[in-house]
Amino acid sequence: MKIFNDDSPLYLQLRKHIEERILNRAIGDDEPMPSLRNMARDYNLNPITVGNAIGALVDEGILYKKRGVGIYVTPGARKMIIKIRTKDFAATTLEPTIKMAKQLEIPKQQIIESVECIYGGDND
């Protein structure tokens, strides 16, 4: 499985990968993160790159530092990531897609039926 590509800076890709692991519950609240050295070794990255990714997540409140102990996942980090990504998704993907559907004169009911099909139809 290839994690990194040439599309964006490595620290942003690592940051997203860590967020994905939190979203998928591979890392839970208050769980310790591996040391920067271990992560650099495991992902074959420069420790500075790993530090930049971790630092950005700490700055955002997704991770927190315990002085002299290590870096941990903040309780509620998954919900924070979902909130951030939901806002971004709505602005960059959902709204333009709905506008395109309207421009293509796709009936609103067809859009609603598609959403209900994907979500299962009930008030989920």
* Residue that finishes a domain, picked among 55, 75, 95: 75
* Position 69 in a domain: yes
Task: Work out the percent of the chain whose per-residue pLDDT is above 70.
Answer: 95
Q: What CA–CA distances, in Å, run from 77 to 14, 31, 74, 87, 117? A: 16, 11, 5, 16, 30
Q: pLDDT band for position 122 (50/70/90)? A: low
* Position 94 in a domain: yes
* Position 43 in a domain: yes
pLDDT in tens, 52-84: 999 999 999 999 999 999 999 999 999 999 999
Domain that holds residue 25: 10-75
Number of domains in the chain: 2
